[in-house]
Amino acid sequence: MIGIIGAMEVEIAHLRDQMQDTRVETVSGIDFYCGRIRGREVVLAKCGIGKVFAALCAQTMILKFGVECIVNSGVAGTLTSELHIGDVAIATACVQHDMDTSPLGDPYGLLSGINVVELPADQTMVQALDRVCREAGVNHRLGPVATGDQFVHTMERRRWISDTFGAVAVEMEAGAIAHVCYVNRVPFAVIRVISDEASGEAQIDYASFVKKAAATSSDIALRWLAA
């Protein structure tokens, strides 16, 4: 079974509409939709915004539903001049930009206990998503995706995250899902469509483009499931 997680209703609605033989189980306030999409057994959930909800959802998918891999599908802010609204970031790894024990001598983003900064995505899944985007003619880039419990909206913060981690996009859940998958040894991948420029105009961009960006992310996930 494949797990697919989105943070918001708009990020899972199209995928849920494609699901057949659907049944719903609610765990810790999260609805998990189980069924078939494009002939594949899938459990789909809207986790809610932020790292704690994302981690809770991913851990439930692994322990209760026994997923063999997890895909995080949704939207993000760009951190590179090569990605603009409507373009796609595919994570090669995830980092948590708001994890900071640097006063103790640690590098920014070090995850205490597992002592890594970058959580690598599954290369087979990354390559498959890369191929889907190329075949669909979608402008996309592969690179680290940065996660934190904050909506990045200033050029100063955008530049710091980009310079520190080399990330191509920033959002609020993928790093937590990656963290859970890493410690449970479950493969994961992240598809993020750019909905804003992570700058002073981020709020305006986001409100205007989030629905369209989420639809693009869902379409890529559907193409990947059908491949």
Query: Is residue 205 scored above 80 in pLDDT?
Result: no
Pairing assessment for the beta strands 20-27 and 30-37 based on DSSP bridges: antiparallel
Query: Which residue segment(s) compose the domain that 27 sits in?
Result: 2-226
Which residues lie closer than 8 Å to 34 by C-beta, 6 or more apart?
1, 22, 23, 24, 25, 41, 42, 43, 44, 65
**CA atoms of 21 and 220, how far apart (whole Å):** 22
Which residue in 11, 118, 171, 205 is the catalytic one? 11
CATH number, residue 113: 3.40.50.1580
Provide the token pair at 158.
């955008």
Q: What is the pLDDT of residues 120-144, one digit of tens each?
A: 999 999 999 999 999 999 999 999 9
Q: Is 11 an active-site residue?
A: yes
Structure tokens at 90: 């595919």
Do 186 and 63 form a contact (C-beta atoms < 8 A)?
no
For the segment 55-85, what is each residue's pLDDT rounded down to a tens digit?
Answer: 999 999 999 999 999 999 999 999 999 999 8
Through-space distance between the first and last CA atoms of the chain, rounded to whole angstroms: 16
Across the chain, what does the average pLDDT equal?
A: 93
Q: How many domains is the chain partitioned into structurally?
A: 1
CA distance linking residue 74 with residue 18, whole number of Å: 17
Assess whether 25 carries a catalytic annotation: no
Q: What CA dihedral angle connects 88, 58, 56 and 22, to 10 degrees? A: 100
> Of residues 196, 197, 205, 219, which has the active-site annotation?
196
